[in-house]
Copies of this chain bind each other. A is one copy, B any other.
Amino acid sequence: MSNIREVARLAGVSVATVSRTLKSPERVLAETRDKVNAAVEQAGYRPNQMAVQFRSRKTGNLVILVPAIANTFFARVISGAQQAAQAAGYRLLLCDTQGREDIEREFAALVYAHQADGVIQLRAYDPFEAPFPNAESPPPIVNACEVIQGGRHPTISLDNRAAAQAMTEHLIALGHRRIGLIKGPKSSPLTRDRVAGYQDALHRANLPSDPALVCHGDFTLTAGYEGAAAMLALAERPTALFCENDEMAIGALKRLKEQGLRVPDDISLVGFDDIPFAAYCDPPLTTIAQPAERFGETAVNMLIALIEKQPIAERHVVLPFELAVRSSSAGCKGQ
């Protein structure tokens, strides 16, 4: 592999001129530029980025911490992030953390090791909060999707509380008074918000909030399947079921059908996220549409601004949701 010295020799100029021709051509005479470019061509020269990065103290890499890569929603977020990173000349270092803080910390530490310039965290945990060696100022990090309440880092989030409230109100408007909720893990703030929104709606409609109607899952198909089973085992069944993501709703749907219940005639079912499959369920799933790709895209752009010390307009971006009403929710007949 040829290096800058080789090119300089071929072009009959100094290495500095070669470097300039590549970085800021306007500072070089057109004539010289041509000589250099010809030499670059001839030598098949490609700057050794390891040396460039080392020298200029910038890797161009962004770490993205994902709880579960194979999750349909996160896959969309990653996709958006990758497009944005590519457009800006950055690369994405992917990390499947399985929601484990030790793994998150380990990967976030790539920034300390100068292997990445910043971190995108998609979960409500600050991988830098643990005492880190000589942590002068926290490294560039943005927190998207599930965000830390009152955290010190920029965030990109959805108003989960408002969204859950909107969904619950949709069900209430349809006449439902017993609405089951299959929520996420207890520890998740995202879940806390959605539960709060659900309760807000009940409260505003003067409906009782029955703890028996709330069970938790882990956002998987299986969790939805089992959550639905639990709901159906209740003495007084809910007439509508709100799952905190579409995967769980699809899992629940299977279970409801197996029990011989028709959706939405016998029970309404709604989800959250609007993954592509939601519209292809039978019946198509009423859900909350989230701009998944935009989470990734916005996070990347914000992180890059942080890294490049550009001014940031808003440190806490809230992306819009949309209630996507399809046929899995309908008027309550049981009344």
A282 contacts across to B, CB distance below 8 A = 253-254, 257, 282
Q: Does A333 contact B (CB under 8 A)?
A: no
**Contact check: which of B69, B113, B251, B280 meets A251 at CB < 8 Å?**
B280
**Contact check: which of B45, B50, B276 meets A114 at CB < 8 Å?**
B50
Q: State which residues 53-111 of A face B: CB under 8 Å.
A: 53-54, 57, 59, 61, 68-72, 75-76, 78-79, 82-83, 86, 91-96, 103, 109-110
**Contact check: which of B2, B93, B250 meets A280 at CB < 8 Å?**
B250
B70, A94: Cβ atoms closer than 8 Å = no
A75, B83: Cβ atoms closer than 8 Å = no
Closest 4 CB pairs of A and B: A44-B133, A44-B134, A54-B54, A75-B75
Most-contacted residue by chain B among A53, A83, A110, A250 (CB, 10 A): A53
A91 contacts across to B, CB distance below 8 A = 93-95, 110, 115
Q: What 0/1 pattern do residues 195 to 238 of A give for CB contact below 8 A with B? A: 00000000000000000000000000100010000000000000
A43 contacts across to B, CB distance below 8 A = 133-134
**Contact check: which of B94, B109, B110 meets A94 at CB < 8 Å?**
B94
A70, B59: Cβ atoms closer than 8 Å = no
**Number of identical protomers:** 2
A196 to nearest B CB, angstroms? Answer: 29
A86 contacts across to B, CB distance below 8 A = 95-96, 103
Tell me the bound Cα distance from A78 to B43 in angstroms.
36
Tell me the bound Cα distance from A79 to B70 in angstroms.
6
B92, A134: Cβ atoms closer than 8 Å = no
A24 contacts across to B, CB distance below 8 A = none
A59, B69: Cβ atoms closer than 8 Å = no
B54, A51: Cβ atoms closer than 8 Å = yes
A95 contacts across to B, CB distance below 8 A = 82, 86, 91
Tell me the bound Cα distance from A53 to B94 in angstroms.
19
A113, B46: Cβ atoms closer than 8 Å = yes
B114, A2: Cβ atoms closer than 8 Å = no
B112, A46: Cβ atoms closer than 8 Å = yes
For A220, give the chain B residue with the smallest CB separation.
B276
For A113, give the chain B residue with the smallest CB separation.
B49
A44 contacts across to B, CB distance below 8 A = 132-134
